Chain A
Amino acid sequence: MKNLFFLLLMCVAMGVQAETLPDNIYFRAMQDEMNRSKKELRVKGSAKPFYIAYRVRRPSPSQEIAADLGQLFPLQEENKFTGVGISVYIYAGDKQNNSSGYEDDYYARTVLAGRTGDSYESVRDALWQLTDLEYVKASNVAEKKEAYKRRKNVTQEPADFSRAPQGKYVEEIAALSPRAVAQYAPLLQALSNQTAAYPYLEQYQIAVRQGQTEEYFLDSEGDFYQLAIPTSQVTFQAKWHTKDGYSEGASVSFPLPSENEENFIRERAAQFLQQMQRSRQAVKGAPYLGPVLLMPQAAGGYLNQFFVRNVRHAKPLLSAVHDTDASSGRFRDKMGMRVISPIFDVFDRPLLRQYQGKPLLGFMPVDGEGVAAQELQLVSGGKLKALPSSRSLVPGQKQSNGHGRMGNQYPRPTVTNVFFEPTNPLPTDQLESELLTRCREQELEYCYIFHVFPGQAGADKLATAERIYTQDGHKEPVYGLEWTEVASGSLRDIWAAGAEKEVFNSVENGVPVSVVAPALLIDNVELMVTQKQPDQKPFLPLPN
């Protein structure tokens, strides 16, 4: 029943498995240069190019409209086009041993990328030059990796590159709807003009940007995909002074849904102002040890930091720089162990584009190594059941499950859209009363409810928390709290979760991930207080 309900809420990717490469200048240029490089690209005495992949990204001309304190800006941006982005990566060597999975500097980890014009000639020319540079780099890395393995007596099983189900996905790409951003003008003017209720606002801007990015991929195994990624978003930006004299500013962006955008903007604007209002009225927090309630957005940030970052990159990089690959997740060798509270099943669903009408940034039908992406059950009853894998497997994995994701760096196994499904979810008001009960048991004067996870990019200037007092349940906004935990132990201290889930999006090293999470009740959380001092008060009052 739960799964049926779930399916009803989701929009499944509408693209199709395709057998033939679409005909456009990008695929023609990629195919032509790929064929030539496979056949002719060699440097005598160096490792040959074993695997070649091309990714072309063409952003649509973007449009933006913005308003500040009730009036539109005269001109922001009109049909801005930033060129066609090209990424090329090559594994030099062979199936067993190649240049992948090794680093000796930042350059060795980073995929070569460039920008070019939107003609066949310019795309082809860019592919040619980047392929050449990438091959020289890959063959050098392959030699350095071999030398490292000899020096460290590294024997490697399984092979660096495994065969996998072919990824072929094509969706029709329609030009971005010419629905002008001007349609948002009245809404933005009205929303940004809410200064009567917030007279202390020094600036309050709302901007809507419309855009999409077409993405084309081809590799030397014959895998390919073509899709469009929506990049429309709304951004809220405000500046104010807190009662204690801190000069604060916050800027928060959200991807725009494809439908009911205006309602979405209204909701987010209300949330943003509410958070800002809390920040304005907030009192400084105090050190704390006890239970907390994370509301869904805060829970998303928390799970992103402590679960998502630990479930990725199962195979550490061989590194001549570091003894331990810090980017490799802590769950890599915890298969079958309890990594999170037993109330959770956790799924990774790369083929979903939306959840309850909200965009999921992790959508990915084919991964960055051309492998068809598969849904995974990562956790069952709190125990780790599966890890995302790429073509470069770890012992125990049979083949890639299509999670070799590429951002700015070479493909590595990472999750996409992570869904946290609790057993016996509770309504929000019950979560609050559960929290109060637990706090009273621990004889605490108050406990904390977080709306934004502390340290979350862009929102860190907003008051992130509220105190809820055990005596009468009244609430008080608080600022300046820091989450001290750096490991993932508290995942196992979650004792209840909410029924309503929200989407939390993040991007790291160019890899977007969506976390779909409910509110969480967590025991034994330790909080510290920021050392930041108040700013000098303004010399002058706000002008009229």
Chain B
Amino acid sequence: MKKYIPLFLLLFSVVCAHAESCSVKTELPLQLMGQELKRSFTVLKKQNPPIYYLSYTYKEGENWGLEMSLGGVQAQYHTGVSVAEVQARAGSPALDNTRALKGEWQNFKVEGIEGAPAVSAENSKAFKRAWWRATQKAAEQAQKDFSRVAANVRTMSQTKDQSADFAFPPVVVTYCQTQAPVSVDLEKVKALLQEASKLPAGKAYVLDSSFSFSVQQGHRYFADSRGTRLKTPYAYVRLMYSLSTRAKDGMELERFKDYNVFSMDELPSEKQLIADVKQSLAELEALSQAPEGEPFTAPTILKGKAAAVFVHEVLGHRLEGHRQKDDSEGQTFTGKTGRQVISPLLTIVDDPTLRSFRGSALRGYYLYDDEGVAARPVTLIENGVLKNFLMPSSPIAGFNESNGHGRRETGARAVARMGIMRTTASQTVSYEELEKMLLAEIKHQGKPYGFIVEDLGGGFTYTGTSMPQSFKLQAKMVWRVYPDGRKEVVRGLDVVGTPLVSFNKVIAAANDDAVFDGSCGAESGWVPQTNIAPSLLLESLETEKTKKSGYKPPVLPSPLTEQGDIK
């Protein structure tokens, strides 16, 4: 199950305005968490097996949301967020409850959660009782998991990488930052979406449309038995729309767009939004009438965001540290540090502390990971040579400490994840020049056509050994490019391949860095991430047919296309 990593194109921005420093000593939630953590740890470390490390995470904030369709409100909410989570490690750093079990489904979920409606620290009695309950659950589960791990280690084959299960953070940190909440004017957004969401009405080629807006904001508090105390803000603001249709052969087609903003004032204007929706409608209409693509291998440009998605899916997950010590993983890059692994043209760095890029807020930004470790930039690949891995607090051979990439969603256990991954090229050309190089390559190879992939959507990367360790990404917008320069939209293609071959086929890059913000789902749940990459020219890339729904378009045309029928 964990071997595939679906990627969603959820885009929104990190808002860091109005941040102020504060003191961890005076923050009430941290005070109460610290008291209860100390009281618990004193007892739990003497248990058998001992709880040797304990951490508390508390999220307090609010979520806003609005969904609209054809001018009507489909959903609207404003809810409080208050979640208390306890992570416990039983055993010892050398062997603890988090070790991957051989021959069993791995357990990445944690038990110590008191979810909404949890409580506010203002109600200290209820707050402390919530931690008490969560600590009990987490400790019991950790001890239970540790017995499973101990039995598994005794009875199954020895893991090649004998590194410890946990490395204490090299430095105990305290950090406190408070941020004023974004002022949300839902009525203003409603007015904005009202007109835009009516545009698909009456378009015979549109089957479904949805427009949505959301804000998630608040603060995360972190305390652990080592003395780490953190308060960090989070804020994600997002506006998106999706338009879809079904071709006569049952193929589902979609156009999608979203926006990053720093504040409500920076949402797109009605004029801008309407222009974008019209553009997407034109693309959907073109797709609905486009010929179906054929499986083929040809020179291909992955344009802008498509290149960023490609790097994320095909390469990024294979550089996650925990995969290098798990024998059920493909371990594409394990033990290859210092060796050329991809095209020497490319350098890849993951830097979660990069807050914005050329004016765009970056969703993958964070200062401290979900294990309380300071994030830092990590050069993963330099001129095609493997240098490092994304590291959580679980060491691997040759890499003994976390570099601040232990990340997770509420309710999951942290593993290594990407933050803000940037791909650069040692030599670049303009995008126009890159297209000329594509045409030259098509002619050189004697191919009837090549591809420009403008939009890669969701997809799967299989990194485990139980399945082919390949990737399959949905190409949502693809152009066939003929040797004479003519372009034709085609539909129904997926991009497929294997990582080592594909990344060694990169022969050129443009100077047009594009930002792809998304939420990535893997073993530790959905976490916000960013990928930045230039357009890439690949000597060849393989495509195959995408799935079809099997349903026909509706028997009757849309009632909204009938003139005069709209009331």
Contact = CB atoms under 8 A, between A and B. Distances in A.
B129 A75 contact: no
Report which residue of B69, B75, B79, B207 has the largest number of chain A beta carbons within 10 angstroms of its beta carbon: B69
A132 interface: yes
A25 B72 CA distance: 11
Contact of A540 (B39, B70, B207): B39
Contacts of A132: 554-556
Q: Which of B72, B120, B131 has the most CB of A within 10 A?
A: B72
Contact of A117 (B71, B130, B135, B558): B71
Interface stretch (B158-166, B400-408, B527-535, B559-567): B559-567
Contacts of A538: 132, 136
Interface in B402-458: none
A172 interface: no
A207 B555 CA distance: 47
- What band does the interface of chain B fall in when counting residues whose beta carbon is under 8 Å from A? 35 or more
A109 interface: no
B73 A118 contact: yes
A229 to B, nearest CB: 20
A117 B208 CA distance: 12
A118 B128 CA distance: 43
Nearest to A129: B554
A382 to B, nearest CB: 47
Contacts of A68: 117, 119, 123, 126
Nearest to A42: B555
Interface stretch (B40-48, B367-375, B496-504): B40-48
A79 B186 CA distance: 12
Interface centre among A25, A116, A121, A136 (most CB of B within 10 A): A121
Contacts of A41: 555-556
Contact of B132 (A25, A32, A136, A543): A543
B122 interface: yes
A135 interface: yes
B556 A120 contact: no
Interface stretch (A80-88, A100-108, A395-403, A465-473): A80-88
A77 B75 CA distance: 13
Contacts, number: 168
A259 B78 CA distance: 28
A118 B72 contact: yes
Contacts of B82: 73-74
Nearest to A207: B117
A124 B202 CA distance: 12
B77 interface: yes
Contacts of A40: 556
Interface string B20-44: 0000000000000000100110011
A106 B79 CA distance: 34
Interface in A52-78: 61, 66, 68-71, 73-78
A161 to B, nearest CB: 23
A121 B80 contact: no
Contacts of A124: 559-560
Given A68-B119, A203-B133, A540-B136, A135 B555 contact: yes
A122 interface: yes
Given A76-B80, A80-B77, A203-B133, A117 B119 contact: no
A242 to B, nearest CB: 15
Contacts of B36: 543
Interface residues of A, number: 58
Contacts of B360: none
Nearest to A201: B129
Nearest to A124: B559
A125 B559 contact: yes
Contacts of B71: 117, 119, 121-122
A539 B39 CA distance: 11
Interface string A526-544: 0000000000101110111
A102 B134 CA distance: 48
B40 A540 contact: yes
B74 interface: yes
Contacts of A37: 556
Contacts of B558: 125, 128
A36 interface: yes
Contacts of A43: 555
A538 B47 CA distance: 12
B68 interface: yes
Given A84-B72, A121-B70, A540-B40, A79 B559 contact: no
B125 interface: yes
Contact of A36 (B43, B123, B139, B559): B559
Interface in B129-149: 129-133, 135-136, 139-140
A239 interface: yes
A277 interface: no
A28 interface: yes
Contacts of A125: 69-70, 201, 558-560
Interface string A1-43: 0000000000000000000000001001100110011001111
A123 interface: yes
B129 A81 contact: no
Contacts of B79: 75-78, 80
A73 B128 contact: no
A81 B76 contact: yes
A117 B69 CA distance: 6
Contacts of B140: 536
A77 B555 CA distance: 41
Interface centre among A28, A205, A538 (most CB of B within 10 A): A538
Interface string A444-459: 0000000000000000
B43 A539 contact: yes
Nearest to B47: A539
9 contacts: A36-B556, A69-B125, A71-B123, A73-B117, A80-B77, A117-B72, A118-B73, A129-B207, A129-B208
Interface of B: 36, 39-40, 43-44, 47, 62, 67-80, 82, 117, 119-120, 122-123, 125-126, 128-133, 135-136, 139-140, 197-198, 201, 207-208, 554-556, 558-560, 565-567
The 8 closest A-B pairs by CB, nearest first: A117-B72, A119-B72, A75-B80, A71-B123, A122-B72, A132-B554, A121-B70, A122-B70
Given A78-B79, A117-B68, A118-B72, 13 more contacts: A61-B76, A76-B79, A79-B76, A81-B76, A116-B74, A117-B73, A123-B72, A129-B207, A205-B117, A207-B117, A239-B133, A542-B129, A543-B131
